[in-house]
Amino acid sequence: DADVTQTPRNRITKTGKRIMLECSQTKGHDRMYWYRQDPGLGLRLIYYSFDVKDINKGEISDGYSVSRQAQAKFSLSLESAIPNQTALYFCATSDSGGVYGYTFGSGTRLTVV
């Protein structure tokens, strides 16, 4: 099994729908992150969590919310999806020291029509 698992892998949804992307990890890491990637724009940080009780906004949090249900689980929600949220979404984890960088999940390709 993968160290960082994202579900679903692909999703097509309609404008205005609520959608949740899920991430779980077996790395035992405290820290978890959500990024989106658009062609030509690189990785952009949406939200991050340093532990279960610590949630922080990233550079592009508008239109998104998150929930850290447990050390191993971090979910990203789009409350009312819009077409410009069509992107590739990645979850990542790291230890607190950042010694070994981030481990990324396989990604979720989200299309909002």
Partner 1 sequence: QKEVEQNSGPLSVPEGAIASLNCTYSDRGSQSFFWYRQYSGKSPELIMFIYSNGDKEDGRFTAQLNKASQYVSLLIRDSQPSDSATYLCAVNKGNAGNMLTFGGGTRLMVKP
Q: Does 47 bind partner 1 (CB under 8 A)?
A: no
Which phi and psi angles does 80 have, rounded to 5°? -145, 95
Burial class (CB in 10 A: 0-12, 13-18, 19+), 55: middle
d(CA 78, CA 21): 8
The distance of closest approach from Cβ of residue 105 to partner 1 in the complex, given in angstroms and rounded to an integer, is 6
Contact region with partner 1 (CB under 8 A), list: 18-26, 65-73, 79-87, 105-113: 105-113
**Contacting residue, 22, 47, 90, 112, with partner 1 by CB under 8 A:** 90
| Least distance from partner 1 to the Cβ atom of residue 106, Å | 5
From CA 28, how far away is CA 108, in angstroms rounded? Answer: 22
What is the chain's alpha carbon radius of gyration, rounded to the nearest angstrom?
Answer: 13
Which residues 10-39 are close enough to bind partner 1 by CB under 8 A? none
- Establish if 1 lies at the interface with partner 1 (CB under 8 A): no
Where does this chain bind partner 1 (CB under 8 A)? 40-43, 48, 50, 88, 90, 94, 96-107, 109
